[in-house]
A and B are shown apart, each in its own frame.
Chain A
């Protein structure tokens, strides 16, 4: 536990990034660095553009301006093939889990393996079972997503995101819609993944409990000023920041009004 964010090398660097939809600016001038081994939290109130930023980071949406560097390669300025190569090193857990509903859990994990590896069907099945057991779903290989609970779907989503042993895992609102105990178990799982595999994890969330337990670095997106107004370890931010909107957010509105 407790990997110092300065100890790792920068793995994602975002430089003066603007993002918007159809001429409407959502956020402007975002600049931050995620280091290897970080659990990096993108936080902010509802509708501030957290998920839009995530879409830009994982290659689903082009930024209006600015750059995103992965290991010093400019993600949006490089060619589509090289970008695809970078994306292969990501795993993403979507808010709803986004498991392919026509496939079993094992098939969901196997599909990325089929796409990018030359493993035999038996080996792929073994890996799928391993990944599912890592998220506590051993024995559920042949279940369809509709046959399991919301929390299990999220965990199966993590198993799929880990299929190719990614360098970076992106989580979009991992604890949304989960009961407090399941949310806590998911937080523990995220910490375990980082500590045992050294995976860099970027989490979009506004769940304060998770933010303080798992995050060692963060940015705060402010919906009113439409830019980031704070960055750093969330626990330090809570202790030190004087920005009223950040204080309000981190204290559930108890301070900073």
Chain B
């Protein structure tokens, strides 16, 4: 038999040897260790051999010098098999090890389902921006619908027709209130100290260190106490709300409520909203007091101001309007944090990563909403001259 023999320039002892006989059979000898991580010849070499070496009609294998093998050999064989089926070449696997033959058959026993593989589309700029704009409007519509539903639920609460468990509300009040005190205390005292220090450095230049009390009192009570409480609650409670509701979505608990005709908006969102709207102003007052305490530590401890002197100055600096503006801020932030936490939780997908995303998104939405609301309230106060 006239046989044309050729060995591939294999990078090591793992190599292929081709011998083509005139009856159109290409015999591939596989040698060495065909294991992942070893340098191996590629399937392209077989394709090159098939195109260069004339009209092969069938492929056979000889594997007596093949030592160890694993998935590396299989992926190589699958590529050859695909090439053969595309080019109507008969593949005779008999010369391969028994295990490899079986796995090769197993890999092709369930054919690829048509239409399921996802096409990776490269979108041009305009469709990409269009898609983003449509997604933005959809999300805005959902958000507005959610706010509307929350308002309806709230109005039902005021006429006593909302369905939720009082015990849930009490538990939420405890979670949003008492349990948040340690972190609010720490942050507020530190914030008071920071405001005191910053004020002291500048005011000392003019010998007006007594006015540190004004800076701290007005800063904390008018806006900083509310903002810091808002941000703490967005990170602590808003994320918790989103994670709780997201997990309920994953566990089909929200579906179970819906099929029983219980509105998740009333049963889950409403008590969370009420709890935060009640607790946020209280936490804000607490934060204001601790912030003033922080300022007092700087004033009395570092600027040698008298305790009574500092407190008197604080009392003179504050007015009921300033206090009212701070409380207004905190009540608004309570609604915003509750809404963003619950919105993202209810919109959560049904997977672990979706719940994580919902929690992150709740914090981001909450903080952005707090900052925007602060800007709006500050502007309105400016216009009204208060």
Query: Chain A: interface residue count, which band?
Result: 20 to 34
Bits for A100-126, please: 1 = Cβ < 8 Å to B, else 0.
Answer: 111000000001100110000000000
Bits for B169-197, please: 1 = Cβ < 8 Å to A, else 0.
Answer: 00100000000000000000000000000
Question: Are B261 and A60 closer than 8 Å at their CB atoms?
Answer: no
B252 is an interface residue with CB less than 8 A from chain A: yes
B156 is an interface residue with CB less than 8 A from chain A: no
What are the residues of chain A within 8 A of B163 when measuring CB–CB? 115
Question: Are B261 and A100 closer than 8 Å at their CB atoms?
Answer: no
B44 is an interface residue with CB less than 8 A from chain A: no
The residue in chain A whose Cβ has the minimal distance to the Cβ of B168 is A102
Which chain A residues (168-182) contact chain B, with CB distance < 8 Å? none
A59 is an interface residue with CB less than 8 A from chain B: yes
Question: Are A115 and B260 closer than 8 Å at their CB atoms?
Answer: yes
- A77 to B247: give the CA distance in the assembly, Å: 32
The minimal Cβ–Cβ distance linking A146 to chain B, given in whole angstroms, is 11
B201 is an interface residue with CB less than 8 A from chain A: no
Which chain B residues (205-258) contact chain A, with CB distance < 8 Å? 247-248, 251-253, 255-258
Question: Are A90 and B252 closer than 8 Å at their CB atoms?
Answer: no
The minimal Cβ–Cβ distance linking A81 to chain B, given in whole angstroms, is 10
What are the residues of chain B within 8 A of A99 when measuring CB–CB? 253, 256
What are the residues of chain B within 8 A of A58 when measuring CB–CB? 259
B262 is an interface residue with CB less than 8 A from chain A: yes
- A197 to B294: give the CA distance in the assembly, Å: 69
Across the interface, B253 reaches (CB within 8 A) one of A95, A101, A112, namely A101
Known A98-B251, A101-B251, A115-B163; judge A90-B259 contact (CB<8 A).
Answer: yes
Question: Are B260 and A111 closer than 8 Å at their CB atoms?
Answer: yes
Across the interface, A87 reaches (CB within 8 A) one of B168, B247, B259, namely B259
Question: Are B261 and A98 closer than 8 Å at their CB atoms?
Answer: no
- A115 to B252: give the CA distance in the assembly, Å: 19
The residue in chain B whose Cβ has the minimal distance to the Cβ of A84 is B261
A70 is an interface residue with CB less than 8 A from chain B: no
A140 is an interface residue with CB less than 8 A from chain B: no
Question: Are A92 and B259 closer than 8 Å at their CB atoms?
Answer: yes
What are the residues of chain B within 8 A of A101 when measuring CB–CB? 247-248, 251, 253
What are the residues of chain A within 8 A of B256 when measuring CB–CB? 92, 94, 98-100, 160
- A199 to B258: give the CA distance in the assembly, Å: 22
> How many A-B residue pairs lie within 8 Å, measured between CB atoms?
48
The residue in chain B whose Cβ has the minimal distance to the Cβ of A61 is B255
The residue in chain B whose Cβ has the minimal distance to the Cβ of A170 is B259
Bits for A75-92, please: 1 = Cβ < 8 Å to B, else 0.
Answer: 000000000100110101
Question: Are B261 and A115 closer than 8 Å at their CB atoms?
Answer: yes
Question: Are B262 and A94 closer than 8 Å at their CB atoms?
Answer: no
What are the residues of chain A within 8 A of B257 when measuring CB–CB? 100
- A87 to B258: give the CA distance in the assembly, Å: 10
What are the residues of chain B within 8 A of A59 when measuring CB–CB? 258-259
The minimal Cβ–Cβ distance linking B121 to chain A, given in whole angstroms, is 16
- A95 to B163: give the CA distance in the assembly, Å: 26
A96 is an interface residue with CB less than 8 A from chain B: yes
- A96 to B248: give the CA distance in the assembly, Å: 11
- A90 to B260: give the CA distance in the assembly, Å: 8
Question: Are A60 and B258 closer than 8 Å at their CB atoms?
Answer: yes
Which chain B residues (128-184) contact chain A, with CB distance < 8 Å? 163, 165, 168, 171
What are the residues of chain B within 8 A of A95 when measuring CB–CB? 252
Question: Are A100 and B259 closer than 8 Å at their CB atoms?
Answer: no
The residue in chain A whose Cβ has the minimal distance to the Cβ of B163 is A115
Bits for A50-64, please: 1 = Cβ < 8 Å to B, else 0.
Answer: 000000001110000
The residue in chain A whose Cβ has the minimal distance to the Cβ of B255 is A60
Question: Are A98 and B255 closer than 8 Å at their CB atoms?
Answer: yes
The minimal Cβ–Cβ distance linking A204 to chain B, given in whole angstroms, is 13
The minimal Cβ–Cβ distance linking B139 to chain A, given in whole angstroms, is 16
The minimal Cβ–Cβ distance linking B253 to chain A, given in whole angstroms, is 5
Question: Are B252 and A87 closer than 8 Å at their CB atoms?
Answer: no
- A111 to B256: give the CA distance in the assembly, Å: 11
Question: Are B262 and A98 closer than 8 Å at their CB atoms?
Answer: no
The residue in chain B whose Cβ has the minimal distance to the Cβ of A163 is B260
What are the residues of chain B within 8 A of A112 when measuring CB–CB? 260
Question: Are B255 and A94 closer than 8 Å at their CB atoms?
Answer: yes
Question: Are B252 and A94 closer than 8 Å at their CB atoms?
Answer: yes
- A218 to B255: give the CA distance in the assembly, Å: 25
Which of B168, B247, B251, B256 has the most chain A CB within a 10 Å cutoff? B256
Which chain B residues (246-284) contact chain A, with CB distance < 8 Å? 247-248, 251-253, 255-262
Which chain A residues (159-212) contact chain B, with CB distance < 8 Å? 160
- A143 to B261: give the CA distance in the assembly, Å: 25
Across the interface, A96 reaches (CB within 8 A) one of B168, B252, B259, B262, namely B252
What are the residues of chain B within 8 A of A60 when measuring CB–CB? 255, 258-259
Known A102-B168, A115-B163; judge A96-B261 contact (CB<8 A).
Answer: no
The residue in chain B whose Cβ has the minimal distance to the Cβ of A172 is B252
The residue in chain B whose Cβ has the minimal distance to the Cβ of A83 is B261
Question: Are B260 and A98 closer than 8 Å at their CB atoms?
Answer: no
- A92 to B262: give the CA distance in the assembly, Å: 14
Bits for A17-59, please: 1 = Cβ < 8 Å to B, else 0.
Answer: 0000000000000000000000000000000000000000011
Known A59-B259, A60-B259, A115-B261; judge A98-B252 contact (CB<8 A).
Answer: yes
What are the residues of chain B within 8 A of A116 when measuring CB–CB? 261
What are the residues of chain A within 8 A of B251 when measuring CB–CB? 96, 98, 101
What are 6 sample pairs from A and B whose C-beta atoms fall under 8 A apart? A60-B259, A87-B259, A92-B259, A96-B252, A98-B251, A100-B253
Considering the complex of A and B, which 3 residue pairs feature the smallest CB-CB distances, nearest first? Answer: A98-B252, A94-B252, A98-B256
Partner-A contacts on B (CB < 8 A): 163, 165, 168, 171, 247-248, 251-253, 255-262
Given contacts A87-B260, A101-B247, 13 further A-B contacts (CB under 8 A): A59-B258, A60-B255, A60-B259, A88-B260, A94-B252, A98-B255, A99-B256, A100-B248, A100-B257, A102-B168, A111-B260, A115-B163, A115-B262
